[in-house]
Chain A
Amino acid sequence: MSKKPYELTEEHRAQMGPWRDKWIANARSTKPMDEEDRAAMRVAIRGIYEAVGRKPPLEDRIVFVTSPFVAAFAAGAAAYVWHQRGKGDGSTVEATFAATAEATHLATADATFAATIEATSLATRCDVRVAHSDEVGGTTWDATSHATIPNTPDDESWWCTGHRGCVEAVRAYGDEALKCATLSYRMRQGGNQWSGWAAFLSFFRHVVKLDIDYSQFAHWEAASIHGGPRYMHQEFCIISDRPEILTVDDQGRPHNETGPFCRWRDGISLYAIHGVRMPAWAVLHPEKITVEKIRAEENAEVRRILTERYGIGRYLTDTVAEVVDVDYEGAQKGAAPRALLKDADGRLWLVGTDGSTGRTYYMEAPEGTPTCAKAHVALCGFDEFRIVNKS
């Protein structure tokens, strides 16, 4: 006979808010991992491997590092080493490993050589910690997109140094290593920063107390509490610390208008304004924003924020904008005024809003476009009379 499905009770409903807040706090925690956390993580990690029928990594192949950046690069490179070993190509690996380690060591400012073994020692060799936190200004590194080379590093940035080390390592390993590094996201789990699923499941474990065997999930839950993002491989597990700074806006989006919204203790920093990831220079040095840099920016949201930080009025004044056309875009809901402006270089810009976010967008229109409506047609490929609602 099947069990009666669970139905939410008022008592349980009343606990949803506090439960949510508890897990949001966990996701935003900036507490450094301590010995208690690391001990709990070792137990949890072993439990997770065993829960899926895998042999856990050896004790010293459960490695703790300072940031997801270090974890991502080290995991990718270490996975490559293990992959090569699996193919019996150990001699090549040893040779390239030595070369890479040397290159990486030389390139990193404060590399830490911990007493770990073989492939996992690479994790600590790739540690790009810097001695001076004020050197971190130029980083635009996305810890979750570690293989993407940022396009705005400041010359004086530690980033260049750390990145050169990574590039040297990849060069030494070749294209296959690069592939491994770029695929390391497959091993990634967000730890405390991916608290959503754990919050949902644990609600039924601890509040509802469903009659389910939670002994295996308990390890997952513990790993969501005691550690940051982790990379799990059949031979090793690399776990990042929590960040030391993590700020959001009133809607919970990554946000800091004057500094990094997220910074780890090795100095690696991420920048965002109201949820839009920004280059560091645009946050730290808004005075460096120029019309040329705004025009060169390919990302529409970043360009919008650059324009806003530069100042819309200033932007139009500096580009000596001329009004070509104004109208009121029609729609049953979401209609809004718009304008077609021509800047000093003769480029046309359709200026409008989506009608629901309060944002103003600047979209370049093809040369010679005479009206706002035709500019929109050029951007969407069809006549806008077909649009019923917009947002």
Chain B
Amino acid sequence: MPKLLALTEVEKIANTKPDPTVRLARRLDIGQAIHQGDVYVHRVKDDHPRGEPLGTRQVAVGTTVGARHFAEGPLTVYAGKQLPEWVTPGEDYETADYLGPVVVASEEWVLTHPEHAHHQLPKGTYQVTYQINETTKKRVVD
């Protein structure tokens, strides 16, 4: 395909009008997920394995603006222990590259971020997973 076509496609993506409004999910079934930046939040069963409470509401690792994915609401954030069964690590990766914390919310809650649109989610148990970076062979850092 001619290279100009690539330019056209990228321009199409770059010109997509952003929608910064809250993503509202009134219902999220087990096995469904939402995506915010490099973070995925999966609805899992209430008995999904989890570790100790982390004492934080931040669900991504780091201190940069990009890492400020926060779980807000009546909830507790626990250490993650196991990926949802539908998440399969790639050949060059380990579970730890994808695994984030578990969020247990007793009421509706919001996943916030200073730049990405917020997600409003129903009460329940959620497993956070991360995107991986094929260039570094690690989880995405931003």
Contacts and interface: CB of A to CB of B under 8 A. Distances in A.
A378 interface: yes
Contacts of A364: 133-135
A356 B19 contact: yes
A292 to B, nearest CB: 13
B19 A334 contact: yes
Contacts of A300: 38, 66, 133, 140-142
A358 B140 contact: no
A382 B135 CA distance: 19
Nearest to A339: B9
A333 B40 CA distance: 15
B60 interface: no
B37 interface: yes
19 contacts: A275-B115, A276-B64, A276-B65, A298-B141, A299-B141, A326-B9, A333-B24, A334-B19, A341-B6, A353-B18, A355-B16, A356-B117, A366-B90, A378-B90, A386-B33, A388-B25, A388-B32, A389-B23, A391-B20
Contacts of A386: 31-33, 42, 86
Interface string B106-124: 0000000101111100000
A43 B134 CA distance: 54
B61 interface: no
- By size class, the interface of chain B is 35 or more
Interface-centre pick from B88, B113, B140 (highest chain A CB count, 10 A): B140
A381 B139 CA distance: 12
Contact of A316 (B6, B115, B117): B6
Contacts, number: 176
Interface-centre pick from B23, B28, B35, B135 (highest chain A CB count, 10 A): B35
B132 to A, nearest CB: 6
A299 B142 contact: yes
Nearest to B42: A386
Contact of A387 (B5, B17, B40, B118): B40
A298 B18 contact: no
B135 A381 contact: no
Contacts of A312: 7, 10-11, 14
Given A379-B131, A381-B98, A390-B34, A357 B115 contact: yes
Contacts of A253: 65
B54 interface: no
Contacts of B117: 334, 355-356, 391
B3 A321 contact: yes
B37 A354 contact: yes
A387 B131 CA distance: 13
B6 A388 contact: no
B6 A380 contact: no
B134 A366 contact: yes
Given A301-B142, A357-B116, A382-B33, 7 more contacts: A300-B66, A313-B10, A322-B6, A381-B83, A388-B25, A388-B33, A389-B119
